[in-house]
Amino acid sequence: MIYIRSLTLLLTLVFALPTLAAELEVGDPAPDFTLAASDGNTYTLADFKGKQAVVLAWFPRAFTSGCTVECKSLAENGHLIREYDVSYFMASVDPLAENQRFAEETGADFPLLSDPGKDVAEAYGVLAGMGFARRHTFYIGVDGTILKIDTAVQPATAAQDMATSLGELGIARR
């Protein structure tokens, strides 16, 4: 019985360690990143600082049901988000080629960022014990600080919820 409890505790700690690495909070500076995207470009967060707010929506894995629903929500309702002066991205730890196929299949008209090295996912504290990113959305202000962290993303209404959050955060309209 003690062995089982010890093993359970050990497994809990091992799977929790990636999430303990970086517990970001509202007001913290957003970790910088430079990631390749499905549209053939490379994006660096620092390039937006002082110019535009950024939304970074992490998703677990391309071609899975919830991620497909979320990506299609953003593709079909992106006009709601584009009413704001913001650049928005979905990001995963999937390889770039996988995200490129996923973007094409879902009709994504926005970049999907790839972090196969998982360094950025770790910096944002979204890397789950199974090696996938958690479905969390980060709202980053023009000054580079985190304005909001949404850990309860609803894939079907992701675009509408994102637009609502941008309005509540006072992000300038275009």
Could you tell me the residue range of the domain that residue 110 belongs to?
A: 2-168
What pLDDT was estimated at residue 4?
47
User: How does pLDDT run across 43-58, given as a tens digit for each residue?
Assistant: 999 999 999 999 999 9
Answer yes or no: is 103 within a domain. yes
Quick check: is 102 in a domain? yes
**Pair type for strands 86-92 and 53-58:** parallel
Does the active-site annotation cover 67?
A: yes
Place of tokens 């979204």: 126
Q: Which of 54, 55, 56, 67 is catalytic?
A: 67
Per residue in 70-123, pLDDT (tens digit) is 999 999 999 999 999 999 999 999 999 999 999 999 999 999 999 999 999 999
Number of domains comprising the chain: 1
Cβ neighbour number for residue 50 with a 10 Å cutoff: 9
Joined tokens for residue 86: 């913001």
Asked if the model's pLDDT at residue 18 lies above 80, the reply is no
In a domain, 141, yes or no: yes
Give the residue-averaged pLDDT of 10-29: 60
Give which of 31, 26, 39, 153 is closest to 89, Cα–Cα. 39
CATH number at residue 52: 3.40.30.10
| pTM: predicted TM-score of the whole model, two decimal places | 0.86
